[in-house]
Amino acid sequence: MRLRLLALAADDELSIGELAELLGEGQPNVSRHATALRQTGLLRDRREGTRTLVRLSAEAARDPVVVDALASGRALCEEDGSLSRVAAVLKAREAAAHEFFARPPKPKADGLPAETGAYLLALGALLPKRALALDAGTGDGRLIEVLAPLFERVVAVDRSDAQLSRASERAIARGLRNVTFVHAELDDPELRRALAKGPGASSDTGADAVFASRVLHHAPQPAKAVAQLASLCAPGGAVVVIDYERHDDESMRQQADVWLGFEAAELRRFARAAKLDDVRILAIPSFLCGDGPDKHLSWQAMVARKPASGSPKARRRMPRGAPGTHPSKANE
Residue 92: per-residue pLDDT: 86
Of the candidates 218, 230, 158, the one whose C-alpha atom is nearest the C-alpha of residue 188 is: 158
Per-residue model confidence as pLDDT tens digits over 259-285: 999 999 999 999 999 999 999 999 999
Fold classification of 2-102 is Arc Repressor Mutant, subunit A (1.10.10)
Residues in the chain, overall count: 332
Domain ranges for the chain, please list them. 2-102, 116-305
Q: What's residue 323's pLDDT?
A: 43
CATH code, residues 116-305: 3.40.50.150
Average pLDDT over residues 183-194: 93
pLDDT at 110: 58
Residue-by-residue DSSP string for 143-198: THHHHHHHSSEEEEEES-HHHHHHHHHHHHHTT--SEEEEES-TT-HHHHHHHTTS
pLDDT tens digits for range 89-123:
888 887 876 676 677 766 655 566 777 778 888 88
| Higher pLDDT pick, 317 / 47 | 47
pLDDT at site 109: 57
Least confident range from 34-38, 47-51, 112-116, 311-315: namely 311-315
What's the confidence (pLDDT) of residue 90?
86
